[in-house]
A and B are shown apart, each in its own frame.
Chain A
Amino acid sequence: MSKTEPHLIIRMGSHAEKDYIQKTIQFMDGIIVGANLLEATPGATASLLINCAGAKLPTITYYIDPMTYAFGQYIDPATRTLRSDLDWIKSEQKAAGKTGKTIRAVKHSYRKLAEQFGTPFSNALSRGRAVTQADLQTDAELEASCQRLADYQQKRIASILSDDPVSQALADQAPGPAAVFAPYFYIEPSNTDVGIDFLLACARRTASFTNKTPVHAVVCADESSLKDDAFLKRIGGEIPDTGVSGVWLWFSKFHEDKADGQTLTSFRSLIETLSAKISVYNMHGGYLSLALSTVGLTGVSHGVGYGEQKDVVPVVGKSTPTVRYYLPPLRKRLGVPQIERCFDSLGILTPSDFHEQICDCVVCKGVVSKSLSEFGAFGDLHYSTPQSKRLAQTPAAAKRCRFHFLLNRIKERDRIKKSTTAEIVNGLRLAHERWSEQPSLAGACDHLERWQVVLG
């Protein structure tokens, strides 16, 4: 185990996030996009990637997440049954030639992605059944598929640029990704050995290709796997032997601030074990992951406003979530009134008290400039449509929260780089001492104690 300088890799979820990316990318270490986004908007995504990670910003790297897990089996959160019907990548779409009728079909971006990936992904869509290990049984099938995915990640940006007369000239200079991901699928907790075998086979085969780009594996599993000793032993012991140079961890439902001590300790141990041999990243992580660079974590990625954890099965049908204010001392998002309720007892009585004790980023200095009452602007509400019955956060308020969060995350990365473990732990201890007695934050500070134990 050794301390590393944590890399902060921003994950772009949609082009609505372009403004955040463009304004902050120069302070990040990398950007990652899902291949489904690349196929949905090829020109715009390719152009953004080369502007973020090209000659203009040579120190920024990019990654394309092949999203292969989306073509696999998943556990239906409602019924807890294993489903192979690919329904999670389907949506209601207008039926051609039938006014007002809709059909449930695979999303356009995934259809295009399957065309790029070829068999068995395209076959899976045709037959309406998920890709499993049985589809890549022979060496030839596995090799062809792994090769095609590696090629896709390495050449897709150049290919998109060369298709457009305006950007053709840039195609030759388009940088490649920082690493190529081997195909990966969700490792279902009741069938971990089969899932791990499949992951190892894909990783080993992709790593065997002789190319210059490093190969990384992705461990995509349930949070409960962090309490499965057999799972941890195999992942820790066998992933480095596949020949990959890096591994990205993605534990579905794993919230750094909610996970119990045992889960967090296992997470740390896994990082220590793996980082002794290869680079380790957390695909959807937050402050704790950044702090775990002290025991070897190389990098953390997350979205612009949330996304410090991600469930494998997407949450569908819920209203747009409120982007809550990231409270820097607690490294956690909270509602405006929960925070404002603490002001008097913490002696935060003026904007300068706020800047000193809570946040002095440019967003906060701009918003909370004349009066503390301006803090409410982070939670401003409006009726988003004339039919709305309930007030929702204004886009401007959400934007303030996102920029404030990103600026703080950059600051956290920089501070962690310069800090010892003892300094980080002490910071968490002081924050807990100061904030945990606040009546409106009952239970909201407990993670600070667990993190001290895990890091200490």
Chain B
Amino acid sequence: MSHSTESALFDPVASYTRRKGFRRQQAEVQFYEYRIDLYGYSRGRNETVAIELKLRDWKRAVEQALLYQLCADRVFIALPTRASSRVDAELLRQHGIGLIAISDSFRCVQIVPARPSSVVRGHYRDTYIEMLLEPSL
């Protein structure tokens, strides 16, 4: 099996983050001109997570992840395992961005942990939490 589209990465990553406690989730959350591929909230930890999925272009993913640190407590980029090996893990650590690798069998592994964002803005975070806690979701 292989990952031919970004959307193929969504389900394994959503399941993985759900297992990590981020049970309230929403795909394609708009943040100004950007769309966060997956935004989640863990009620138990009172923590939010934003994940940018990419098949290859990890540099673009990092650019977006840096911005998502404004609206989420932890931010990850997620790529297929083969592409994830090319990622500059040191750069991610420097900025506190996490990395998730997705194997051909759709198993997710955290390669780099995400640090709590030091620039998260309460007004963005709270708006998204409110949205995720709406009964319709």
Contact A341 B34 (CB under 8 A): no
Size class of B's contact patch? 10 to 19
Chain A residue contacts of B121, Cβ below 8 A: 340, 373
Chain B residue contacts of A376, Cβ below 8 A: 123-124
Q: How far is the CA of A199 from the CA of B119 in the complex (A)?
A: 55
Q: Shortest CB–CB separation between residue A160 and chain B, in angstroms?
A: 41
Chain A residue contacts of B95, Cβ below 8 A: 439
Chain A residue contacts of B123, Cβ below 8 A: 373, 376
CB contact list, A370-429 vs B, under 8 A: 373, 376, 379, 381, 390-391
CB contact list, B84-113 vs A, under 8 A: 95
Can you name 27 A-B residue pairings with CB atoms under 8 Å?
A: A322-B33, A335-B34, A335-B67, A336-B32, A337-B32, A337-B34, A337-B67, A338-B67, A340-B70, A340-B121, A341-B66, A341-B67, A341-B69, A343-B119, A344-B118, A344-B119, A373-B121, A373-B123, A376-B123, A381-B30, A390-B30, A391-B30, A439-B66, A439-B95, A440-B63, A440-B66, A440-B67
Q: How far is the CA of A152 from the CA of B67 in the complex (A)?
A: 52
CB contact list, B25-39 vs A, under 8 A: 30-34
Q: How far is the CA of A376 from the CA of B121 in the complex (A)?
A: 11
Q: Shortest CB–CB separation between residue A163 and chain B, in angstroms?
A: 45
Asked if A55 lies at the interface with its beta carbon under 8 angstroms from chain B, I say: no
Contact A341 B32 (CB under 8 A): no
Asked if A430 lies at the interface with its beta carbon under 8 angstroms from chain B, I say: no
Chain B residue contacts of A373, Cβ below 8 A: 121, 123
Chain A residue contacts of B67, Cβ below 8 A: 335, 337-338, 341, 440
Known contacts: A439-B95, A440-B66, A440-B67. The answer to whether A337 contacts B119 by CB under 8 A is no
Contact B63 A337 (CB under 8 A): no
Known contacts: A341-B119, A439-B95. The answer to whether A381 contacts B32 by CB under 8 A is yes
CB contact list, A324-375 vs B, under 8 A: 335-338, 340-341, 343-344, 373
The proximity string for B residues 19-60 relative to A, scoring 1 for CB distances below 8 Å and 0 otherwise, is 000000000001111100000000000000000000000000
When C-beta atoms are compared, the residue in chain A nearest to B30 turns out to be A391
Q: How far is the CA of A343 from the CA of B32 in the complex (A)?
A: 17
Asked if A442 lies at the interface with its beta carbon under 8 angstroms from chain B, I say: yes
Number of A positions contacting B (CB below 8 A): 18
When C-beta atoms are compared, the residue in chain B nearest to A373 turns out to be B123
Q: How far is the CA of A343 from the CA of B120 in the complex (A)?
A: 11
Q: Shortest CB–CB separation between residue B5 and chain A, in angstroms?
A: 19
Contact B63 A442 (CB under 8 A): yes
20 additional contacts (CB under 8 A) given A340-B121, A439-B95, A440-B63: A322-B33, A335-B32, A335-B34, A335-B67, A336-B32, A337-B67, A337-B70, A338-B67, A341-B67, A341-B69, A341-B119, A343-B119, A373-B121, A376-B123, A379-B32, A390-B30, A391-B30, A440-B66, A440-B67, A442-B63
Q: How far is the CA of A98 from the CA of B89 in the complex (A)?
A: 63
Chain B residue contacts of A379, Cβ below 8 A: 32-33
Known contacts: A341-B67, A440-B66. The answer to whether A335 contacts B30 by CB under 8 A is no
Contact B30 A341 (CB under 8 A): no
Chain A residue contacts of B69, Cβ below 8 A: 341
Q: How far is the CA of A73 from the CA of B69 in the complex (A)?
A: 49
Q: How far is the CA of A440 from the CA of B31 in the complex (A)?
A: 15
Q: How far is the CA of A445 from the CA of B121 in the complex (A)?
A: 25
Chain A residue contacts of B66, Cβ below 8 A: 341, 439-440
Q: How far is the CA of A335 from the CA of B31 in the complex (A)?
A: 11
The proximity string for A residues 3-36 relative to B, scoring 1 for CB distances below 8 Å and 0 otherwise, is 0000000000000000000000000000000000
Q: How far is the CA of A390 from the CA of B95 in the complex (A)?
A: 30
Q: Shortest CB–CB separation between residue A332 and chain B, in angstroms?
A: 16
Q: How far is the CA of A452 from the CA of B33 in the complex (A)?
A: 31
Q: Shortest CB–CB separation between residue B137 and chain A, in angstroms?
A: 17
Q: How far is the CA of A373 from the CA of B119 in the complex (A)?
A: 12
CB contact list, B114-137 vs A, under 8 A: 118-119, 121, 123-124
Q: Shortest CB–CB separation between residue B126 and chain A, in angstroms?
A: 11
Chain A residue contacts of B118, Cβ below 8 A: 344
Q: How far is the CA of A306 from the CA of B66 in the complex (A)?
A: 27
Chain B residue contacts of A343, Cβ below 8 A: 119
Q: Shortest CB–CB separation between residue B96 and chain A, in angstroms?
A: 11
